[in-house]
Structure 1
């Protein structure tokens, strides 16, 4: 029994020393964050924001190409097309340009986007529907590229993010092929 406890303690120290994130069941680790694809009910953007807050999290902020590729990879793997035609799954992200049109900010930090992956082939962001497309989403219909969407429509699921349990120096999973 003492040997088993010693091995567990040793492994725990290694994980802490390496800074790997620990995430709750159902959450995916990436670097120093944990992500949750909340697919229980389609929500509008504000409801998605609240759902994440209820999980002590926030709508995901994507700050690098690798982080974006990681989330797109899992969105594609976890969420297959709803129809034979294309995947209509949408995940709300934590950015909006509701305050100033065309100035996209992450709501969790009030910082402008320093990385973007708009679906330029489909002229995103389009800001259609009388200037009401103010919320950022990963759109399954377009291979989970970034699209602006109408915030008040119950069309998407929440993609939540929170800090990993072991702090901000984590390695976790760092890239997807």
Structure 2
């Protein structure tokens, strides 16, 4: 656990008020979210072009960056087909960066969002919907806003 906390400290970046962390494991979307929660974090949401650009910059500085890499984001349409929301806030997508032809819900099984950087298939930091349970990828956790719950 101490080693994990040390990696968290080394790998995190402060982007605005958010802190990001890319664990050293790949997992399906559900396990990725569970892992982030175990750290007091959640899968990352990307709600603006500025956040997208900051996240790309963070990934490029990480040891997970390559010419063909994929990361889970915290978005899905699991609650209602075709209606994408962020797991961290339940907000609808206001910013989107879908690849051409996406989202397409291939085989009626693609409900979770990944960000792809793969120069070999001409997808550069674009989003794709993919199967939440069977596909495993690296993922990005973000800090949880401690102000999200307010007293009445």
Q: TM-score, normalised by structure 1?
A: 0.69
Unaligned runs of 5+ in 1: 1-22, 169-177
CA apart distance, 1:154 = 4.0
Match of 2:79, SS?
A: coil
Q: Say what the alpha-carbon RMSD is for the aligned residues.
A: 2.2
Query: Are the counterparts in 2 of residues 60 and 94 from structure 1 also a CA contact under 8 Å?
Result: yes
Q: TM-score, normalised by structure 2?
A: 0.80
- Tell me whether 1:132 sits opposite 2:109 in the alignment: yes
Higher relative contact order (CA 8 A, sep 6+): 1
**In structure 1, C-alpha distance between the alignment counterparts of 2:79 and 2:130, rounded to whole Å:** 15
Give structure 1 regions of 4+ aligned residues with deviation exceeding 6 angstroms.
none
Query: Are the counterparts in 1 of residues 13 and 58 from structure 2 also a CA contact under 8 Å?
Result: no
CA apart distance, 1:91 = 1.0
- Tell me whether 1:57 sits opposite 2:41 in the alignment: yes
Query: Are the counterparts in 2 of residues 58 and 162 from structure 1 also a CA contact under 8 Å?
Result: yes
Partner of 1:32: 17
CA apart distance, 1:107 = 1.3
**In structure 2, C-alpha distance between the alignment counterparts of 1:80 and 1:163, rounded to whole Å:** 24
**In structure 1, C-alpha distance between the alignment counterparts of 2:111 and 2:53, rounded to whole Å:** 23
- Tell me whether 1:160 sits opposite 2:137 in the alignment: no
**In structure 2, C-alpha distance between the alignment counterparts of 1:113 and 1:34, rounded to whole Å:** 20
Unaligned runs of 5+ in 2: 1-7
